Structure 1
Amino acid sequence: MKQLDTLDWVFITIYFAILFGVALWVIFKKNENTEDYFLAGRNVGWFVVGASIFASNIGSEHVVGLAGAGAGDKIPMLIYEIQAWVVLILGWVFLPFYARSGVFTMPEFLEKRFSAKSRWFLSVVSLVAYILTKISVTIYAGGVVVSALLGINFWVGAIATVVLTGIYTIFGGMRAVVYTETLQAIVLVFGAAALTFIGLEYVGGWGEMKATLGPEYFNMWRPTTDPDFPWPSLLITSTIVGVWYWCTDQYIVQRTLTAKNIKAGRRGAIFGAFLKLLPVFLFLVPGIIALTLKQKGLLNWDTPDQAFPVLMSNLLPSGLRGLVAAGLLAALMSSLASVFNSCSTLFTVDIYKKMRPEASEKKLVTTGRIATLVVVVLGILWIPIMQNISGVLYEYLQKVQAYIAPPITAVFLLGIFYKRINAKAAYLTLVVGFIVGALRIVLELVQSSLTPGSVLHTIGSVNFLTFGAWFFLICIVFTIVISLISEKPDPVKISGLTYGTLSEEDIRENKMSYNWKDIVASVLIIAIVVAVMIFFNGK
């Protein structure tokens, strides 16, 4: 890899000066109450909401990993990157219920729809999952990227990035997060787009790549007998995980809750869905370009995950290389800022406020800042452990979402679409689902010591995508059966929280929150998703 030169550093310095200028501007604005600190005063426009959704999703490990998928014969994984239609489900289906209920967090919505027990359980599970997976993986991967790009020590790069991100997240709250993410999204898209266009021209165009690698390399639809990516399981499980991630996870949904009204939130989700289409072209394609150049003997790298940074450092001119490096740093910082703020919100609103209901708004904001600081420290302390995790386990972390998502997705979907689902069924599904997911993790790790053909060996060895699909179906059936054999939920308590209990006024307000432009934009996004699915068929 080529080292960054003076002009590159000038661009990186200018970028960070602007970034922290925005952060300071936000910090000096008022953050005196919980609505302002955790949800930016619920007064954010659609453009910022959409850019924030995109920037929260794209982390440095995401950028490098997706390019690695393109360079490492894992094209089917791009299905996770064309889930723009699932983001539309957030705006059209889920958001009106969240906004109408006035909640700060997803566990809080579960309490309103079901019970306090469901809220407590989801809060604790979400916090633990964030600290052990999202934060640790992002910091570790980010440290690797920063040290490689800037030529500095891993620890210096990782800790400096975490501390800088933590500072503006702690003092600026959600408003600082969404506004800095808007800037970061613009830089990341511009930089990666430049790399894609320059790379395509350098390699000789799409036709040349197809001729070099063969058309079958571009097929995302593997046969049902494929051991890694059987297409039915891939399609079903990626959708289940997508609904969990985009529609029920605090990390993403919190962005839409900052909107000034349902209309702005929905348009933000539509804009976020459009931006979600970009990673295929901005990050996956550079990986394919890097592989093509390697096959031609024009580029060299050891592992697929090195494809993006090596391509960037060798193809881009001085200055632009620094801008793309800044974009990668932006991706790392935006992901960290998002998860820091989400953890802070979950702890303060769902745990601390429940234990100290008399706490003042000022006290809650202070607690939120302290919670963010604690999460920052825990993230740093986790780095040495992440450094010692083998490649197999790191790859395994990417599968964990297929075990986490099914019960949560089932509870939220049924809770909104079926008014008969009660609190007992929701709580049992979350608890039993968590236990089953944990059991699958354990069995997968020890499957070599189990008797082949036994029930436990089958559960531990079946393809993770196939497991996720069947697990979701079982969760759906389990939730419905438990609900039907137990008491009906109180219709007054769940009024307005399910489709079956909406008032005429609720329906009228929802219809007034969109127009033909929103519908046309959504249909266009779905058409693009279908076109991409057809395009990557290996022909």
Structure 2
Amino acid sequence: MITFATISFLGWTLFVAAVSWFKTRKQRLRTTSDFFMGSRSLSFWVVGGSLFFTNMSANQFIGENESVYINNMTVMAWGMSSIVAMLVVSEFFMPLYLRIGAVTTADFLEERFDGATKKIVTFIFLAGYLLSLIPTVLYGGAVAFEGIFHLHEHLGISHWAAIWVFVVALAVIGCCYTLLGGFKAISISDSVQGLGMMIGGLLLPYFGFRYLGHGDVWAGIRTVLHTRTDHLNAIGSAGDQVPFSTIFTGMFLVNLYYWGMEQYIMQDALAAKNLEQGQKGIALACVGKLLAPLMLNIPGLIALHVYSHLDDTTSVFPRLVGDVMPPLWVGFIAAIVFGGALGTFNAGLNSSATLFIMNLYGPRKTAAPAPDGRRLIRAGKRFQVAVTLLGVGIAPFIMFFRGGFYTYIQKVSSFFSIPVFTVLVIGFATKKVPAVAAKAGLVFFVVIYALTQSVLPTGLHYLHVVFILFILTAGLMLFIGRVAPQAVPYRSRPMPLIDIRPWKHRHWYSLGLIIAVVLMFLLFSPYGLAK
């Protein structure tokens, strides 16, 4: 089995690399725009595919299927509610960023408040990447690969040692890919991998249901639909890991931040040829999110009936892949997971370097002779290597976090996401709130959230806590703006680098997507499959 799986894994992985090389073979990485933004030349197919697959990291494959196995389909709310958030970003955030010629999402904060606010937010972004994004991507990929290939059995080493081997391998390959190919190579490979994931999303449930039904796909489907139907429910109660009410509080805020401010996500959209291509790309990524439960949630439901008990629930997805699929397809799914891990890891590395070079390193050099593009690129590559080494040092220790892998990701990311989002929203909505209010808001949120999650537990779901702190922080900023308003009201200075005319059919597509989201929740509810 291992031979056939390895052949198909290498075949698909090399095919994706070859397509990426062929499409970028003539590009020259001379400027920061070339290396970090793909020369702002991405079509909507590339934008949509890259957005979708960058989001679909090994963290999602491992974490969401684990959550479905342990709890129920309520974790699906993250993906479905993100579609609405993406449409809001497409309509309001994208035009704003492109109108001012933004390279990083923090650029607006410098224009609206001051350079110091931009630097503070950049440090918060980088802290999030170093402590949350990069380590969890490496760990999730390592868990997936160990579960599929069982390296510890073949080499006679411990599970812990096998995780270390995969973490290091993923980090080295991903770092080399990023250093050599730049942003455009990453985006193109993500687009091809997105197509592969759609194929895998159909194949894995098919083989899973067939295995469950002892060769009969429909028998397997009937088993899932008529046994333990409580796991089919996506409408979470107050006692569930993801209560349905959180969709309208902290979850929506986290999704708005993720799709509208997270640099490694927004960088795909900011690199579009024009606003229309960016908005079409976001709509295409939304379609992918509608289909994503085939890979992220349905395998967890099937595993619930295949495995009565698992000591390590993070192995739900990789173990199911290894047990139910033919060897050639096991290698293909492994290649998709590998691509997902690399896609998010590469995007995180590239965005970390973009933030560091454009917001911290480059501005420091303005007093001296301005550094040329090649010098900035070299500095960015050195920073990427440093980030990789730090991520490798942290990733394996996530194994010891209690409460589930996906919960770890969301709780840690909330430290960095919502305070920045709050400042952005107030910056959007007001013209006289001063820079000191932004700084006070950032400090207030981070300190109080840390206290509620460690020293002074509230008993509330952490997403409700996030929403309450969002309201309090916004109120604090508005109060400061009232008693000490900005002397000169903010006025935007348009400096678009590309065509910012919007896509004229976007509203019809948005309506169709929102209806589809509602239908998905009805399907996985007590009014649908979870009767």
TM-score of the superposed pair, with normalisation by structure 1: 0.87
Show the counterpart of 2:287: 274
CA offset at residue 355 of structure 1? Answer: 0.6
- Superposed CA RMSD: 2.3
- Which runs of structure 1 show a deviation greater than 6 angstroms over 4 or more consecutive aligned residues? none
Show the counterpart of 1:477: 475
CA offset at residue 371 of structure 1? Answer: 1.3
CA offset at residue 351 of structure 1? Answer: 0.6
Distance, in Å, in 2 between the alignment partners of 1:310 and 1:488 is 58
Distance, in Å, in 1 between the alignment partners of 2:198 and 2:487 is 47
Show the counterpart of 2:156: none
Q: Could you report, residue by residue, the CA deviation over 1:35-71 in whole angstroms, capped at 9, with x for unpaired residues? A: 1111000010001111111111111121011111221
CA offset at residue 385 of structure 1? Answer: 4.0
Q: Could you report, residue by residue, the CA deviation over 1:53-111 in whole angstroms, capped at 9, with x for unpaired residues? A: 11111111210111112211142221111121111112111000111111111122210
Measured at CA, do residues 155 and 305 of structure 1 come closer, stay the same or move farther in structure 2, by a change above 3 Å?
closer
Measured at CA, do residues 7 and 222 of structure 1 come closer, stay the same or move farther in structure 2, by a change above 3 Å?
closer
AA at the equivalent of 1:189? M
Distance, in Å, in 1 between the alignment partners of 2:386 and 2:182 is 15
SS in 2 for 1:319: helix
Q: Does 1:390 align with 2:378?
A: no
CA offset at residue 189 of structure 1? Answer: 2.4
AA at the equivalent of 1:373? V
Measured at CA, do residues 385 and 313 of structure 1 come closer, stay the same or move farther in structure 2, by a change above 3 Å?
closer
AA at the equivalent of 2:124? V
Distance, in Å, in 2 between the alignment partners of 1:481 and 1:56 is 38
AA at the equivalent of 2:146? S
SS in 1 for 2:484: coil
Q: Does 1:6 align with 2:17?
A: no
Q: Does 1:526 align with 2:514?
A: yes
Aligned residues: 503
Distance, in Å, in 2 between the alignment partners of 1:496 and 1:205 is 57
Q: Give % identity.
A: 23
Match of 2:454 among 439, 442, 452: 442
Show the counterpart of 2:192: 183
AA at the equivalent of 1:186? L
Distance, in Å, in 2 between the alignment partners of 1:126 and 1:7 is 41
Q: Contact conserved, 2:74 with 2:241, CA < 8 A, in 1?
A: no
Distance, in Å, in 2 between the alignment partners of 1:393 and 1:17 is 33
Distance, in Å, in 1 between the alignment partners of 2:70 and 2:98 is 42
Distance, in Å, in 1 between the alignment partners of 2:245 and 2:502 is 36
Q: Does 1:431 align with 2:429?
A: no
Q: Contact conserved, 1:139 with 1:383, CA < 8 A, in 2?
A: yes
What aligned pairs does 1:285-364 form with structure 2 within 5 A after superposition?
A: 285-294=298-307, 301-357=310-366, 358-364=370-376
AA at the equivalent of 1:182? S
Show the counterpart of 2:503: 514
Distance, in Å, in 2 between the alignment partners of 1:10 and 1:294 is 28
Q: Could you report, residue by residue, the CA deviation over 1:107-140 in whole angstroms, capped at 9, with x for unpaired residues? A: 2221012111110111111111111111111112
Show the counterpart of 1:141: 140
Greater shift in the superposed pair: 349-358 or 418-427: 418-427
Distance, in Å, in 1 between the alignment partners of 2:522 and 2:433 is 38
Segments of 5+ residues of structure 1 without an aligned counterpart are 444-455, 498-505
Show the counterpart of 1:501: none
Match of 1:44 among 42, 45, 49: 42
Distance, in Å, in 2 between the alignment partners of 1:227 and 1:527 is 25
Distance, in Å, in 2 between the alignment partners of 1:229 and 1:180 is 33
Distance, in Å, in 1 between the alignment partners of 2:438 and 2:401 is 36
Distance, in Å, in 2 between the alignment partners of 1:407 and 1:44 is 31
Q: Contact conserved, 1:424 with 1:483, CA < 8 A, in 2?
A: no
Measured at CA, do residues 467 and 431 of structure 1 come closer, stay the same or move farther in structure 2, by a change above 3 Å?
same
Greater shift in the superposed pair: 392-401 or 529-538: 392-401
Show the counterpart of 1:57: 55
Distance, in Å, in 2 between the alignment partners of 1:166 and 1:146 is 18
SS in 2 for 1:391: coil
What aligned pairs does 1:464-503 form with structure 2 within 5 A after superposition?
A: 464-488=462-486, 490-491=488-489, 493-495=491-493
Show the counterpart of 1:122: 121
Q: Does 1:17 align with 2:31?
A: no
Q: Contact conserved, 2:67 with 2:75, CA < 8 A, in 1?
A: yes
Distance, in Å, in 1 between the alignment partners of 2:423 and 2:488 is 17
Q: Does 1:537 align with 2:522?
A: no
Distance, in Å, in 1 between the alignment partners of 2:345 and 2:220 is 35
Distance, in Å, in 2 between the alignment partners of 1:279 and 1:457 is 34
Distance, in Å, in 2 between the alignment partners of 1:493 and 1:176 is 37
Distance, in Å, in 1 between the alignment partners of 2:503 and 2:136 is 38
Q: Could you report, residue by residue, the CA deviation over 1:360-419 in whole angstroms, capped at 9, with x for unpaired residues? A: 1221111111111111122223245445x3334854443233443332222222322333
Distance, in Å, in 2 between the alignment partners of 1:73 and 1:227 is 7
Distance, in Å, in 2 between the alignment partners of 1:435 and 1:278 is 38
Measured at CA, do residues 94 and 15 of structure 1 come closer, stay the same or move farther in structure 2, by a change above 3 Å?
same
SS in 2 for 1:356: helix
Show the counterpart of 1:367: 379
Show the counterpart of 1:421: 433
Measured at CA, do residues 393 and 81 of structure 1 come closer, stay the same or move farther in structure 2, by a change above 3 Å?
closer
Q: Contact conserved, 2:171 with 2:388, CA < 8 A, in 1?
A: yes
Segments of 5+ residues of structure 2 without an aligned counterpart are 152-161, 214-218
Q: Contact conserved, 2:13 with 2:339, CA < 8 A, in 1?
A: no
CA offset at residue 211 of structure 1? Answer: 1.3
Measured at CA, do residues 457 and 275 of structure 1 come closer, stay the same or move farther in structure 2, by a change above 3 Å?
closer
Distance, in Å, in 2 between the alignment partners of 1:78 and 1:472 is 24
Q: Could you report, residue by residue, the CA deviation over 1:289-336 in whole angstroms, capped at 9, with x for unpaired residues? A: 1112335xxxx6444322222221222223122111111111111111
Show the counterpart of 2:204: 195
Q: Contact conserved, 2:246 with 2:464, CA < 8 A, in 1?
A: yes
SS in 2 for 1:112: helix
AA at the equivalent of 2:514? I
Q: Could you report, residue by residue, the CA deviation over 1:254-310 in whole angstroms, capped at 9, with x for unpaired residues? A: 110110111111111111111122222222011101112335xxxx64443222222
Show the counterpart of 1:94: 93
Q: Could you report, residue by residue, the CA deviation over 1:182-232 in whole angstroms, capped at 9, with x for unpaired residues? A: 122222221132112332355425443131113x332232345x3754432
TM-score of the superposed pair, with normalisation by structure 2: 0.89
Q: Does 1:78 align with 2:76?
A: yes
CA offset at residue 233 of structure 1? Answer: 3.2
Distance, in Å, in 2 between the alignment partners of 1:457 and 1:301 is 30
Show the counterpart of 1:218: 232
Q: Contact conserved, 1:68 with 1:304, CA < 8 A, in 2?
A: yes
Q: Contact conserved, 2:69 with 2:300, CA < 8 A, in 1?
A: yes
Measured at CA, do residues 21 and 496 of structure 1 come closer, stay the same or move farther in structure 2, by a change above 3 Å?
same
Q: Contact conserved, 1:19 with 1:183, CA < 8 A, in 2?
A: yes
SS in 2 for 1:263: helix
AA at the equivalent of 2:224? M
Distance, in Å, in 1 between the alignment partners of 2:417 and 2:394 is 24
Distance, in Å, in 2 between the alignment partners of 1:306 and 1:52 is 26
SS in 2 for 1:29: coil
Distance, in Å, in 2 between the alignment partners of 1:261 and 1:227 is 42
AA at the equivalent of 2:207? I
Measured at CA, do residues 523 and 234 of structure 1 come closer, stay the same or move farther in structure 2, by a change above 3 Å?
closer
Measured at CA, do residues 155 and 231 of structure 1 come closer, stay the same or move farther in structure 2, by a change above 3 Å?
closer
Show the counterpart of 2:154: none
Greater shift in the superposed pair: 244-253 or 306-315: 306-315
CA offset at residue 475 of structure 1? Answer: 1.8
AA at the equivalent of 2:92? V
